[in-house]
Chains A and B, each alone.
Chain A
Amino acid sequence: MNLLDIDSLTLELPNGTRLLDGISITVAKGETVGLVGESGSGKSLTARSVLGLLPERATMGGQVLLEGEDSLRVSQQRLSELRRHSASMVFQDPRAGINPMRTVGEHLTETLRLCEHLPAEQARQRGIEMLKAVRLPRPEQHLKQYPHEFSGGMLQRVMIAGALISSPKLLICDEPTTALDVTTQAEIIAVLTEQAKSRGMGMLFITHDLNLAASLCDRVYVMSQGRVVEQGSAQGVFSAPQAEYTRKLVAATPTVAVDPAAEVAAARPVAVAATADRAGALRARAVSKTYTIRGQAPVRAVQDVSLEVSKGAALGVVGESGSGKSTLARIVVGLESADAGEILIAGKERTKAPRRRAERLAHARSAQMVFQDPYLSLDPRITAGHAIEDALKLHSKLSTLDSRNRVLELLDQVGMTGKHAQARPRTLSGGQRQCVAIARALAIEPDLLVMDEATSALDVSVQAQVLDVVAEIRRERGLTVLFISHDLAVVRRVCEETVVMRHGEIVEHGRTLELLGNPQHPYTRLLLDSVPRPAWNREVAVQSAT
């Protein structure tokens, strides 16, 4: 008998929308099964249905056998027991998933105390044991701490400890590392696999990251629009995808692996254009920024950073959270002032954050930013066309008719049509929204476009589309881009040159391919090693090394 046996599961909302359509998935004891797909594919919903966490008033069909018991049909009482002993779940965002008003100890031990009626001391011991198992440094002390005192990675360990505390047979992980830095992700994955192995647990691992799934899973299921479109061994599915959708997904997934032959083949017209004009579009010299918060040690967000981007080039800035890359971006676009140093954009002094209206307009023409989350950076009440038109009107004296035409041109450039001009952000997809944000930034014809994690919130296939749009515009107009990202693979697709930041400093700087192929700084190497790679490629690499 399989540990988990989902058989033709369907889920329908009262309005008739079918979110899951005939899902069949099995997980055996000790096996790690991946569930991959983009947002809206139903992978989270499938995982949640195992634990009976269903949307209100949803109609279910099929069955979900957890150790032979149908979790869709058992009593509430029995369902609670299944949730404690049979299957447990690690959620995506530990910051949201752990009650901020209760201590870590309460989070860990409440089911033991309230449901299993364990004495407080015994429950505490179990909590300490679990925190040790997930490698947190000071278990006794952690039990009394509140979630806000932990970093994201530590908190995710707490979440895992909480999931494992009543020894489940199946661990469901729903994007457990998506909110984390790549080096932290590697640590968390190590903890998860170690625990799964030592306990002989089955693991259902949900992720949008094909590389991660490939590095971790024995078998994978690929989901799209509520259906399983492909399944098989991880190696089989990813190296020889059969379904159209899987092929698209694999093609859209960026990778850090450097294949010299392929790189030579891909001639780089953009790089050629870049050399045409040596006058730097962006020149930053010894820029520093320190935040002082009363009663706390000063945070040196950016320290002595110098960089140069020539006109038409793209520079990637890579780093983990807290590395100062976003602060640098904010200084460049004039949202913050640098404490020291100098910034020149297209030869113009842009060091200080603008104060007066004229300064603001001038700075805006120098540099425009595309923000991470298009859901937040566009006003939900203003149509896409209007948002772009507003930017145009602020900076030019175009007549209404001319600016309308210009809006259509801009939308066309980012691969959208005139009918999108009338659409409010709510009705656009995430990728379309980000394209509107790009079009708005381009409307001003800035000397420099700063993209701060501009594709991080998007699905891989959408990300690929947005990156294509950016590449297209760069080819056509010689746009200069400062591309901030935590994702080395994405930077590789966009940027000829890359700097790596850590603790506010640039630790390495070089041509992207050389940097990825032959990293010099230990931190760059750590970053690269932390990027998940397919298990079979790793073996190949090890063999070729020896």
Chain B
Amino acid sequence: MALVSTRATAFKSGGTAVLARRVAGKLGSLLLTLFLSSLLVFFSRFIVPGDPVSFLLRGRKPSPEAIAQVTTEFGLDLPPWQQYINWIAGVLQGDFGRSLQYRQDVSTVIGDRLPVTFGLVVMAGTMIAVVGLIAGITAALNRNKLLDKSILIGLTILGAVPSFVGAIVLIAVFAVQLGWFPTFGSGDGFLDTVYHLVLPSFALAIVFVVLVGKVTRSSMVEQLDREHVEVATSRGLGRGAVVRRHVFRNALGPILTVSGPLVAGLLVASTIVEAAFGISGIGSLLVQSVDRLDFPVVQSIVLLIVTTFVVVNAIIDILEPWIDPRSAAGAGAR
């Protein structure tokens, strides 16, 4: 009992200080993660086979002078750590280097394609949230009934469909057969883009809907059995309020936890979907750049994905005390 009350006072007096320290700690580990991943991203180039110089000079007969010139031009003659410092210093100033294949700044190349991918991910994310949550909640509330079982079976089947197969089926049915949506490209203007991205984002969302749906269901089912839910019911609260305020609210934690990796997963999976729908986003750019050994572009895109992943997870970590007040006090979840 004494233990609990000292905890309580510690929490009271240092509420904001605890939060500030927590956020600072998170930012520290975030920067460290980014630094380590930048090392990994940069030096992986020296591990994978292939020499950027030979790509640059492809189709020509490389004279030793030409090789030397290109090597110096792109700074490839410097020792690796020097190259890293040059690269990371540039990155920090917004200069990601030059694309070998487009002979343009990497930031321009990526910048042109980023909005489309961003739109794709946002639309897919919305679909995942809406469909996944509805499916999960409906299943949990009808636990062990026919509806629950059908939803579970449906989700399992969907989960087994790879996104490229899903993409082909969607194109075949909705674009070719029914002609409701375009088969190709990303459109011009906001509405047209949204229209073009409906099928791709759907194809992208499928697998993740399954994930979110299943996590939501199991998390809700676990909460439904909690005694505080029974207490709330016994107090005369309506079913809807009980589910909203006590079941769903408490089930949020695990759902939020899976959404972190999910964002990165979306970016990675978008490579396949973009290729299938002929959308020129950063996903298809990544595939293409790997193919052509365009290292500056590959490095930048991978760094972008890693950064997104790390930042999203840090945000979720910082949000955690808001979801579960117990974790803020460091009192340990019971």
A residues whose Cβ falls under 8 Å from a Cβ of B? 51, 53, 76, 80-85, 88-89, 91, 93, 95-102, 110-111, 114-115, 145-146, 148-153, 159, 162-163, 166, 181, 184, 295-297, 299, 320-322, 503
**Which B264-306 residues have C-beta < 8 A from chain A?**
none
Binary per-residue interface labels of chain B (298-334) against chain A in the complex, 1 for a CB within 8 Å, 0 otherwise: 0000000000000000000000000111100111001
How near does chain A come to B140, taking the closest CB pair, in angstroms? 14
Contact A148 B326 (CB under 8 A): yes
Contacts A111-B235, A162-B235 hold; do A151 and B228 have CB atoms under 8 A apart? Answer: no
How many residue pairs bridge A and B at CB < 8 Å? 121
- The digit string for B187-219, where 1 denotes a CB below 8 A from any CB of A, is 000000000000000000000000000000000
Tell me which residues across on chain A come within 8 A of B149, comparing CB atoms.
Answer: none
Decide if A101 touches B7 in the complex (CB within 8 Å).
no
Secondary structure call for the B interface: helix
Q: Are A88 and B10 in contact, with the CB atoms below 8 A?
A: no
Contacts A81-B236, A83-B236, A100-B326; A93 near B227 (Cβ below 8 A): yes
Instruction: Convert B219-251 into 0s and 1s, putting 1 for each residue whose CB lies closer than 8 angstroms to a CB of A.
Output: 000000011101111111111010001100110
**In the complex where A53-B234, A97-B231, A110-B237 touch, is A299 in contact with B326 (Cβ < 8 A)?**
no
Question: B86 to chain A: closest CB distance in Å?
Answer: 42
Closest approach, in angstroms, between the C-beta of B325 and any C-beta of chain A? Answer: 4
Contact status A321-B1, CB under 8 Å: yes
Q: Does B177 belong to the interface (CB within 8 Å)?
A: no
Q: Which residues of B contact A97 (CB under 8 A)?
A: 227-228, 230-231
Please name 27 pairs of A and B residues whose Cβ atoms are closer than 8 Å in the assembled complex, sorted by A. Answer: A51-B234, A53-B230, A80-B237, A83-B234, A88-B235, A89-B234, A96-B228, A97-B227, A98-B228, A99-B232, A99-B245, A99-B250, A100-B250, A101-B323, A101-B324, A102-B249, A111-B237, A115-B236, A148-B4, A149-B12, A150-B8, A162-B231, A162-B235, A184-B1, A295-B330, A299-B2, A322-B1
Q: Which residues of B contact A320 (CB under 8 A)?
A: 1
Tell whether, in the assembled complex, residue A153 and residue B1 are in contact, meaning their CB atoms are under 8 Å apart: yes
Contact assessment for A98 and B10 in the assembled complex, using a CB-CB cutoff below 8 Å: no
Question: Are B325 and A99 within 8 A (Cβ)?
Answer: no
- The listed residue (A82, A100, A150) touching B324 by CB distance below 8 A is A100
Q: Is the CB of A146 within 8 A of B234?
A: no
Nearest chain A CB to B286's CB is how many angstroms away? 40
Q: Does B181 contact A (CB under 8 A)?
A: no
Q: Which residues of A contact B11 (CB under 8 A)?
A: 149
A322 pairs with B3, CB closer than 8 A: yes
Shortest B207–chain A CB gap in Å is 30
Residues of B bordering A, CB below 8 Å: 1-8, 10-12, 14, 226-228, 230-239, 241, 245-246, 249-250, 323-326, 329-331, 334
Query: Which A residue's beta carbon lies closest to that of B245?
Result: A110
A518 CB to closest chain B CB (Å) equals 28
**Contacting residues, chain B, for A81 (C-beta < 8 A):** 236
Residues from chain A with a CB closer than 8 A to the CB of B237 are 80, 110-111, 114-115
| B108 → A minimal CB distance (Å) | 47
Asked if A148 and B334 sit within 8 Å, CB to CB, the answer is: yes
Q: Is the CB of A100 within 8 A of B236?
A: no
The answer for the CA separation of A155 and B223 in the assembled complex, in Å, is 20
Closest to B235 in A: A111
Contact B329 A151 (CB under 8 A): no
Q: Complex Cα distance A148/B334, Å?
A: 9
Complex: A405 Cα to B8 Cα, angstroms: 54
Q: Which residues of B contact A322 (CB under 8 A)?
A: 1-3
Inter-chain contact B334/A80, CB cutoff 8 Å: no
Is the beta-carbon distance between A96 and B245 smaller than 8 angstroms?
A: no
Interface centre among A93, A100, A148, A295 (most CB of B within 10 A): A148
Q: Contact at B245–A102, with CB atoms within 8 Å?
A: yes
When the two chains form the complex, which single residue of A80, A163, A503 contacts B238, counting CB atoms closer than 8 Å?
A: A80
Most buried by A among B2, B245, B246: B2
Contact in complex: A111, B236 (CB < 8 Å): yes
List residues of chain A with CB within 8 A of the CB of B236. Answer: 80-85, 111, 115, 166
